[in-house]
Chains A and B, each alone.
Chain A
Amino acid sequence: MQHQNRLRPFFENITFDRDDNEMILNFGPQHPSAHGQLRLMLHLQQEMITKAHPDIGYLHRGMEKMAENMIYNEFMPTTDRMDYIASSSNNYGFALAVEKLIGLEVPRRAKVIRMLLLEINRLMSHLFWLATTALDIGAMTVFLFAFREREYLMDLIEDYCGARLTHAAIRIGGVPLDLPDNFIADMRRFLDKLPENIKDYEDLLDTNRIWRMRMEDVGVVSKEMALSWGCTGPMLRASGVAWDIRKEEPYELYSEVEFKVPVSDKGDNFARYRIYMEEMRQSAHILYQVADMYEETIKNNQTDLMAHAPKYISAPKIDIMTQNYSLMQHFVLVTQGMRPPVGEVYIPTESPKGELGFYINSQGGPYPYRLKLRAPSFWHTGILTDLLPGHYIPDVVSIIGTTNIVFGEVDR
């Protein structure tokens, strides 16, 4: 007996002919270079793509719905699962949005530690991008090299918060912990070595014939297209728009550090690759400066890690353990949650992938009334609809690689 609604077995990636000789190729959702769970339906004339239809949602967990049913602090670990390659950036974006909503000023040392975490996350994300994209193209050595360096950074993060992938290392109002003793020294040792490492990658790739053929003049995103599709981050900067939120709308301490924003007007895969490499150098440059800032805070005895706002933020542990009122406050904040003022904010931050925005609509309750996550990868996936036609099948892999999409963030 056949049942109408039953899932029938089918063969994945089957190709079939139609009358007009057009083939439809099903790419993913389990393709190793689909970077997670991307399904692409590609219409082909010979090997050329005439129409591309990205299908997403295989990793949809309904984070916006979950946010409406969680108190603000409860939602923090959930943000880790968005861009899980650089999870502190998501933590930070959410924390900053809530801080702007309640109008909170974060202590200096917390800001410095957050800057460290953000830039380490950027390095981790870019190294991961380099590794996986090179692997997709076939450069196995670069993958091994880049993962080795990423491992050092993961160890640093592990020293700080105990987690390697899902950090939850930032709290609304500050950071939970001070840096461990050896952190700055370890980080400096890593950064001193990093230029050599980046040079190794470039020696392997920059003049590599295969790499250049797969990258140059492939996947050209024009400036108009990038703007119209809401592209941000390296995708936008590779298309000739010098827009980095860290520079243009500085948050945290980015106005105090000196760094350059690499831009290219080529818009192709190679331009994006160059921008990722250059941004790694700039991140290292920022990290040196922030390390100095951290040592200054020690000198100036700025020891606070969390903002003082008894209505929203629990007091330090020592107060909770010794003072009755702090304990009561802490109890209320943990069991009921903070109640931010009525209003709405949209706060963008420059995550490694692009503009990560949190729109929060608060009605004064302990749960957000509406929380919209603006994840950059969502539109970087959407642009494939317009970008892929005219390219050949192997280009699909390199284009998906350089868009740097992470599906935790696309599907949320």
Chain B
Amino acid sequence: MRAYTPKDDVQAKSYYTDRFYVSPQVAKQDVSSDEVFAADLEAIKAKFEVLEAYIQVEQMVVYINAKDNVDVIKLVKEELDYTQLSEMSAIDWIAKSGQFEIFYQMLSMGKRKRIRIKCFIGKDEAINSVEKLFRSADWSEREMYDMFGIEVNNHPFLKRILMPYDWEGYPLLKTYPLEGDEFAAWYEVDKIYGKEARDIIGPEIRDTARVDRYDSERFGRLGHEVPKGTKITGNEPKTPLAYQEEGGVFMIDRFDEEKSVIITDRNR
């Protein structure tokens, strides 16, 4: 029987898994173990609902409700001195729970602390933009939209940023294959040569490691060159290697003083 491959996650899978292997966990500490973080968490908890909070690898992780994201980040920025939004993006959990996890990585230079504020949104839900608080979110949110298709409310210019404007599909979704989908295979062919050239050119092969030994057009057969389009039989005669320097290949004529006209007068 053929092995079942899940359609909702087409990324590389480990080919060997031990059924009885239990993964260790990166240690989580209680927030109360760090004074600064404990005070910060209290300040957030006083106004907003905190779903979960812990410290992992010296940084506090706080889970909040997605509807509070702008207000929490405003509080954290203006009252708790987290003055920089280092990074924000999403994680695709659609296969597991139909949700996206969005994280905001914040830095306080005064306290020398970093926190990560996280929230979950449903597959078809939008998130509110924090661009008014941090200009850096302008491009981060665009990147998130480009890569995951997450709509951001109140964003000034929600367009694709890394992929072309007319691209279809969202590359970082787990359902998107590494080598691209059907659209990706024809994108440049359609764009450059037109749809009618599909039969002639064929789809773009994005597997760079692929080598077709019978392909006489895309693969340099060094020392066994054949005219373009020839069917390869494997019995091609060996063509001797020749270099221009030895006069073997005619490409550019060598400079020959005898045959040349040498101009000495600049104002001729």
**A266: interface (CB < 8 Å):** no
Given contacts A248-B109, A343-B56, A386-B135, contact A230 B84 (CB under 8 A): yes
B56 interface neighbour in A345, A355, A365, Cβ under 8 Å: A345
Indicate if the CB atoms of B136 and A228 lie closer than 8 Å: yes
Q: Which residue of A lies closest to B28 (CB)?
A: A343
The segment from A83-91, A111-119, A145-153, A374-382 found at the interface with B is A374-382
Contact partners of B136 in chain A: CB under 8 A? 228-230, 379, 382
How many whole Å from A208's CB to the nearest CB in chain B? Answer: 34
**A411: interface (CB < 8 Å):** yes
**A69: interface (CB < 8 Å):** yes
Indicate if the CB atoms of B12 and A346 lie closer than 8 Å: no
Indicate if the CB atoms of B178 and A65 lie closer than 8 Å: yes
How many whole Å from A357's CB to the nearest CB in chain B? Answer: 6
Contact partners of B21 in chain A: CB under 8 A? 339
Indicate if the CB atoms of B11 and A361 lie closer than 8 Å: no
**B257: interface (CB < 8 Å):** no
Indicate if the CB atoms of B86 and A357 lie closer than 8 Å: yes
A230 interface neighbour in B15, B134, B172, Cβ under 8 Å: B134
Would you give the 0/1 interface string for B42-62, flagging 1 where the beta carbon is closer than 8 Å to chain A? 000000000000001101010
Indicate if the CB atoms of B87 and A374 lie closer than 8 Å: yes
CA distance A249 to B58 in the complex (A): 11
**A57: interface (CB < 8 Å):** yes
How many whole Å from B98's CB to the nearest CB in chain A? Answer: 16
A101 interface neighbour in B26, B84, B109, B138, Cβ under 8 Å: B26
CA distance A411 to B147 in the complex (A): 12
Would you give the 0/1 interface string for A28-52, flagging 1 where the beta carbon is closer than 8 Å to chain B? 0000000000000000000000000
How many whole Å from A15's CB to the nearest CB in chain B? Answer: 22
Contact partners of B25 in chain A: CB under 8 A? 341-343
Measured as residues with beta carbon below 8 angstroms from the partner, the interface class of chain B is 35 or more
Indicate if the CB atoms of B163 and A249 lie closer than 8 Å: no
Indicate if the CB atoms of A348 and B23 lie closer than 8 Å: no
Q: Which residue of B lies closest to A5 (CB)?
A: B190
Indicate if the CB atoms of B11 and A68 lie closer than 8 Å: yes
Indicate if the CB atoms of B87 and A346 lie closer than 8 Å: yes
CA distance A194 to B110 in the complex (A): 35
CA distance A62 to B12 in the complex (A): 15
Indicate if the CB atoms of A369 and B12 lie closer than 8 Å: no
Would you give the 0/1 interface string for A336-377, flagging 1 where the beta carbon is closer than 8 Å to chain B? 110101111111100000010101011111110110101000
Indicate if the CB atoms of A57 and B164 lie closer than 8 Å: yes
CA distance A6 to B176 in the complex (A): 26
Q: Among B15, B56, B194, find the residue whose CB has the most chain A CB atoms closer than 10 A.
A: B194
Indicate if the CB atoms of A228 and B134 lie closer than 8 Å: yes
A7 interface neighbour in B24, B112, B192, Cβ under 8 Å: B192
How many whole Å from A384's CB to the nearest CB in chain B? Answer: 11
Would you give the 0/1 interface string for B125-156, flagging 1 where the beta carbon is closer than 8 Å to chain A? 00000000011101100000001000000000
Contact partners of A369 in chain B: CB under 8 A? 91
**A144: interface (CB < 8 Å):** no
B14 interface neighbour in A336, A344, A386, A411, Cβ under 8 Å: A336
A344 interface neighbour in B26, B172, B194, Cβ under 8 Å: B26
How many whole Å from B33's CB to the nearest CB in chain A? Answer: 17
Contact partners of B28 in chain A: CB under 8 A? 343
CA distance A386 to B134 in the complex (A): 13
**A309: interface (CB < 8 Å):** no
CA distance A361 to B86 in the complex (A): 17
CA distance A7 to B189 in the complex (A): 10
Q: Which residue of B lies closest to A101 (CB)?
A: B26
Indicate if the CB atoms of B83 and A227 lie closer than 8 Å: yes
CA distance A66 to B11 in the complex (A): 10
Indicate if the CB atoms of B162 and A411 lie closer than 8 Å: yes
Interface residues of B in 1-44 (CB under 8 A from A): 11-12, 14-16, 21, 23-28
Q: Which residue of B lies closest to A355 (CB)?
A: B86
Contact partners of A228 in chain B: CB under 8 A? 134-136
Indicate if the CB atoms of B11 and A7 lie closer than 8 Å: no
**A3: interface (CB < 8 Å):** yes
**Interchain residue pairs with CB less than 8 A apart (18):** A6-B190, A64-B147, A101-B26, A227-B83, A228-B135, A229-B135, A229-B136, A230-B87, A339-B21, A339-B23, A342-B23, A343-B25, A346-B59, A355-B86, A359-B89, A364-B24, A372-B87, A412-B162
A-side residues, CB < 8 A to B, are: 3, 5-7, 56-57, 60, 62, 64-66, 68-70, 100-101, 103, 225, 227-230, 241, 243, 248-249, 336-337, 339, 341-348, 355, 357, 359, 361-367, 369-370, 372, 374, 378-379, 382-383, 385-386, 411-412
B-side residues, CB < 8 A to A, are: 11-12, 14-16, 21, 23-28, 56-57, 59, 61, 83-87, 89, 91-92, 103, 105, 109, 112, 114, 116, 134-136, 138-139, 147, 160-164, 171-172, 176, 178, 190-196
5 A-B pairs with the lowest CB-CB distances in the bound complex, closest first: A343-B26, A364-B23, A230-B136, A57-B162, A69-B12
